[in-house]
Structure 1
Amino acid sequence: MEPKRSKYILIALTVFCVLLIGLTSVHDEWLTPLRTGVGYVLIPVQSGVNSVGSAIYDEIRDYSKLRNAMIENKDMKDLITQLTEENTRLQSEEFELKRLRELYSLDQQYGQYTKVGARVIANDSSNWFKVFRIDKGSKDGIATDMNVVAGGGLVGIVTDVGANYATVRSIIDDSSRVSGMAMQSGDSCIVAGDLTLFKDGRLRITNVLKDSDLKDGDKIVTSNISSVYLPGILVGYASDITNDTNNVTKSGYLIPAAEFGSLQEVLVITQLKADMMKEGESAPSSEGGDTAETTAQSTQAVESESASQ
């Protein structure tokens, strides 16, 4: 049985091969319709497969690019944030160094006085530092009536002291009165605080004798006869000095030397005018002492009234 089956299979394969040979020898005209039919079926399928494959490949490639771009973008943002923080820190340190250099220059300018540096830690919530608090107190040697300087000139005076803080009333406060004098001529005057007037960057100068030589641009410093302010500290510059209607005195304005809109560090002079006055009382009086004493008493009355307010 097996030999007959093998024989039949061999005959079938032989016939199939002969048919294939015959087909391949047939003229192309007979195969063209078959090829065309196959093309109609296979070409759209092949095009669709190619399109889908290309689209999938493009999507995978675009997703990979997008993922890499997102990673790079995050890295760049982190780097920008780091550089921004570093730049801000460097700018802050630069500004602080500039302020400290100015304070050092001010310290050298008034080298005859001992001083303590302090930072401003709070103000009265106004646009200007009319009353503010510093981070040094009695444990650092700070006491009431000590003079405070910054930015090239007088800022104010200590009015209240705690163990770790002190309160300073600046010369722009409405209740402030500073006995001053013109550095060039020695003529005396009173520098009065005025917050409304300070909106224009000025304070008021009063009690100037008509015959005095005080003129615009003169440097105004604290007077020798002041009751609480140490002598020779720059307050500001005279401006618009004119005769009063009483024809006896002059008045005008003062441009402060210190900046009251951005105080951050100050110097507190730890010497008190009261101690200097006590030392002066123990010294022999000179000629004309009665006149000087009368003037000093008048000035002390004005500044004492200011201090009590």
Structure 2
Amino acid sequence: MESKRSKYVLIALTVICVLLIGLTSIHDEWLTPLRTGVGYFLIPVQSGVNKVGSAIYDEIVDYTKLKDALEDNKEMKDIITQLTEENTRLQAEEFELKRLRQLYELDQEYGQYNKVGARVIANDSSNWFQVFRIDKGSKDGIAADMNVVAGGGLVGIVTDVGANYATVRSIIDDSSRVSAMAIQSGDGCIVGGDLTLFKEGRLRITNVLKDSDLKDGDKIVTSNTSSVFVPGILVGYAAEITNDTNNVTKSGYLIPAAEFDSLQEVLVITDLKVKMTEETTAEDGASAETQAGESETNEAGETAASSEEETAAAQ
């Protein structure tokens, strides 16, 4: 009921305004006082309507501008998000390219060995990669006791192999022992894993003869006498070499060449030290047999020549 009453009042006012506007447009003289009176009534109404209309228009314009600004802001945020994602992706690709270049250089440095590239897919619960898994396994030619390198040097050795994965024990693990030698002097040593010590960025070097020429800064590589590690792989650099209390040996520390807190890609050397040793032994045996055969042939030739000389002398 109240809604209908308001509606009728609005219609009545509208009609009155229209009539008044019509009267003010008539130019007869007798209507002049009426037009004047109507003007006094309409001018405030028109001013109020104009102000309300202007305010409404300004509000509409401001709302439109605000809406456009919000849409532009959303578009800018989307562009910023896209550019941030693109920048992150490019940075990741740049870092990956850098790592792959390092692996390529490592591959070239140890070109005498056959290798397979692999990605690290898991590691143990600690922050260091003392034991980790790679995404290559027996179907890729990976076998136990194969050496693993990355970041410029020796990382560890394969201990367990599945069809499409392999487990690697790194040289920083407490149970790791690497038979090594100083490349400058050839002096032998043992590099022992020590996770607690590695938190200081180093491992332990032991079993160095007192009279050896091993000194700080010397390159330490895998030894020819190692039973599982192929020879000549950089392990790290000697540091703080001192005489032991037994006055027979020396010991010290090793700064590893590889970085064990950010391993992502590695190279697995598919040449096994055991097979290399067997092949060398077989070659040495074949060489010895060949030399023995040549010696027997020479002796037979000398005997025949001696017989001919004796026969000629008798004649």
TM bracket (short chain): 0.7 to 0.9
2:120 maps to a residue whose letter is V
Greater shift, 208-217 or 75-84, is seen at 75-84
Matched, 1:122 2:131: no
1:143 maps to a residue whose letter is A
What's the counterpart of residue 230 of structure 1? 230
**How far off is 1:148 after superposition?**
0.3
Q: How does 1:271-286 map to 2 (within 5 A)?
A: 271-282=271-282, 283=284
What's the counterpart of residue 101 of structure 1? 101
Identity %: 81
Give, in whole Å, the separation in 2 of the partners of 1:253 and 1:191. 8
TM-score, normalised with respect to structure 1 = 0.79
CA deviations 1:81-133 (Å, max 9, x no partner) are 22222222221111111111110100000000000001111111210110000
Matched, 1:144 2:144: yes
Give, in whole Å, the separation in 1 of the partners of 2:225 and 2:47. 105
**How far off is 1:192 after superposition?**
0.4
What's the counterpart of residue 111 of structure 1? 111
Give, in whole Å, the separation in 2 of the partners of 1:218 and 1:88. 40
Give, in whole Å, the separation in 2 of the partners of 1:280 and 1:106. 25
Cα 1:229–1:36 shift into 2, 3 Å: same
**How far off is 1:73 after superposition?**
1.7
Q: How does 1:167-182 map to 2 (within 5 A)?
A: 167-182=167-182
Q: How does 1:63-212 map to 2 (within 5 A)?
A: 63-212=63-212
Give, in whole Å, the separation in 2 of the partners of 1:268 and 1:259. 16
**How far off is 1:71 after superposition?**
1.7
| 3-state SS of 1:197 partner | helix
What are structure 1's unaligned runs of at least 5 residues?
1-16, 25-30, 285-309
| 3-state SS of 2:245 partner | coil
| 3-state SS of 2:242 partner | strand
**How far off is 1:46 after superposition?**
3.4
CA deviations 1:187-231 (Å, max 9, x no partner) are 010000000011111001111111111011000000010010000
**How far off is 1:160 after superposition?**
0.3
Give, in whole Å, the separation in 2 of the partners of 1:192 and 1:48. 94
Give, in whole Å, the separation in 1 of the partners of 2:208 and 2:97. 40
What's the counterpart of residue 213 of structure 1? 213
What's the counterpart of residue 268 of structure 1? 268
**How far off is 1:43 after superposition?**
4.8
| 3-state SS of 1:232 partner | coil
Give, in whole Å, the separation in 1 of the partners of 2:268 and 2:127. 22
| 3-state SS of 2:207 partner | strand
2:217 maps to a residue whose letter is G
**How far off is 1:262 after superposition?**
0.6
2:236 maps to a residue whose letter is G
1:49 maps to a residue whose letter is V
Give, in whole Å, the separation in 2 of the partners of 1:38 and 1:162. 100
Give, in whole Å, the separation in 1 of the partners of 2:44 and 2:210. 110
What are structure 2's unaligned runs of at least 5 residues?
1-25, 286-315
2:256 maps to a residue whose letter is P
**How far off is 1:37 after superposition?**
10
**How far off is 1:50 after superposition?**
2.3
Q: Flag as ranges the 4+ runs of structure 1 deviating above 2 A.
A: 34-39, 41-48, 279-282
What's the counterpart of residue 12 of structure 2? none
**How far off is 1:63 after superposition?**
1.0
CA deviations 1:152-172 (Å, max 9, x no partner) are 000000000011110000000
Give, in whole Å, the separation in 2 of the partners of 1:118 and 1:192. 25
| 3-state SS of 2:186 partner | coil
2:204 maps to a residue whose letter is R
Over the residues paired in the alignment, what is the CA RMSD in angstroms? Answer: 2.1
TM-score, normalised with respect to structure 2 = 0.77
Give, in whole Å, the separation in 1 of the partners of 2:240 and 2:55. 83
1:98 maps to a residue whose letter is K
**How far off is 1:244 after superposition?**
1.1
Give, in whole Å, the separation in 1 of the partners of 2:207 and 2:36. 119
1:105 maps to a residue whose letter is E
